[in-house]
Structure 1
Amino acid sequence: MRPHDDAPRDGASRAVLLDSFGGPEVLTLQDVPEPRAGDGQIRVRVTAAGLNPMDWFMTSDAETAARFGLSLPCGFGTDYAGVVDRVGAGVSDYAVGDRVFGTALSRAVADHIVLDADGDIARGVAHHTPDGVDDRTAATLAIAGSTASAALDVLGLGPQDTVLVGGAGGGVGVFAVQLARIAGARVIGTGSPSSAEYLRSLGAEPVAYGEGLAVRVRALGAGPVTAALDLHGTDTVRVARELDVPDDRICTIAGQVDGVPAANGANASPDALAHIARLVAAGRLHVPLAATYPVEDIRAAVELQAARHVRGKVVIDL
């Protein structure tokens, strides 16, 4: 990762931009005017940006982009970590040199981003990065961590629970499995047969997804499954119902099913990310990094992440 003191000089900055919507092939690293922090704002020198499925989904076509309020030319990426290097008038909660992480919707893969000091996860927000959490890890926390936290709040897991997590090895699954285990629940995680050891490393009991999943879950002898979290679509919802899990103890993040609650990062409690960051700093929650790429290789990074078979998180270094 490039040290902070190697950041571009005043007036020089770079950002990954799209001049048309589409796949990784439309992403280009471009020179841009250096943004300025106005009153009530901070500027962050980004050192790392974490990728999420939502990044390429939002920018895949004009209709989808419009749903998220995006128009051309458009930036890319939402999760970031870095260092505050400018502070506007009226800002008291941040100072130059503060390490921060958070979200900047579809503009995080850039040398500099400007955020409102009183922002939120939808508009863009900065959280202080605790000592003991490196920037690459911090850059993976915001979207996946807040989404997992919001979903688990719906389920209200405790030591009495056995939860089935569909898509347990993905970016949100990394957090959901570990947070469920910290809550005391027993976790059964679905994945491919080749992901079994990886799922065990997160704290889940692995089971292969696909036809016959309910039979395989029962064969584990885990007793009744009391809750379920579908992180991929709706297949796990169907299986959870086969296992007699009540609808109000099932949650989705990527699909809609009548009667089943859904969650996203905007629903997370205000202190969710600070709590997750503290768990990482204390060594109680680990974020596996599947790959890191220099920003010049953004297309290759997005191709890997978009394949949806990554175990852990993909991070861009700036």
Structure 2
Amino acid sequence: MASKNHTHVTEFMLLGFSHGQPFFFVLFLVIYLATLLGNSVMLALVSLDPHLQSPMYFFLSHLSCLDICYSSVTVPKILANALRPQATISYCGCLAQMFFLMGCAGAECALLAVMAYDRYAAICQPLRYAHAMSRGICAGAAAGCWLWGMLDSAVHTLLATRLSFCGAAQLQHIFCDVPPLLRAACSNTHPSEVALHAASVFVGLSPFLLVIVSYLRILATVLRMPVATSRHKAFSTCSAHLLVVILYFATANLNYNRPSSGYSPASDILVSTLYCIVTPMLNPLIYSLRNQEVRGALRKAVWGRGTPGSPGSNA
């Protein structure tokens, strides 16, 4: 190592929990169970309902998988630490947690952009939609999103292995992520900071701009529609996705691009919790409330086809 003050780290102390806190254990457990239930129901609906066999819902099923992975990467360890006198995570466990967390983050950014393009193709180019979003293209786009996230994550994790820590390795957080690791390091963090800023542009900002361009084109097309019911249907199919995009990118930007002068451990933990833990729970709720087809599939699954009053599908 570069200095004799650098120590060989075998585990990190997570200072986000000062001591055992049953309240946070219950809170995160409820959030985690709600995330698993909501996204599992969404996966089941997309898999079983014939009216949800379209590219939009194919990508939505991948979003649900990502949300389950997001929560499963962080929350189980948080639950284990919430009741311990001192929250810790092993060095290898920290790197693994960071790798999968960043991988899911990059994949979700790309997936949200692909979902926006799907809506653009469906509304603005309906005659070419079947060709533009064929089954093979959709499968390739989904696989590309996952691969893109993992490649980005591999860069951050590799750079993190080169960081050195002095004395007791302490993270002012409740799980491992790139920003708290960089703040705790006592070696040169410039390569990791450059990679983080580059990822913010290419992995975060670029997909967000693609989403904005897609929705501006969608808005222009919808406003030219002569029939009010057609405009309403077009807006209803996009509103849930747009709300998810705004929620996700806003919290992601706060998590990774806040100026260091405005940093505080409490606000960092709050933003990261919203970004990595609460958002995956809200996504299926947003889609179920804002999407008529999902609501219809859910009611049909609960009440059955033959039950009186069952609305069936709204497709």
Q: TM-score, normalised by structure 1?
A: 0.28
Give the structure with higher Rg (CA).
2
Instruction: Kindly indicate which of the two structures has a greater share of residues assigned to strand.
Output: 1
Instruction: Kindly indicate which of the two structures has a greater share of residues assigned to helix.
Output: 2
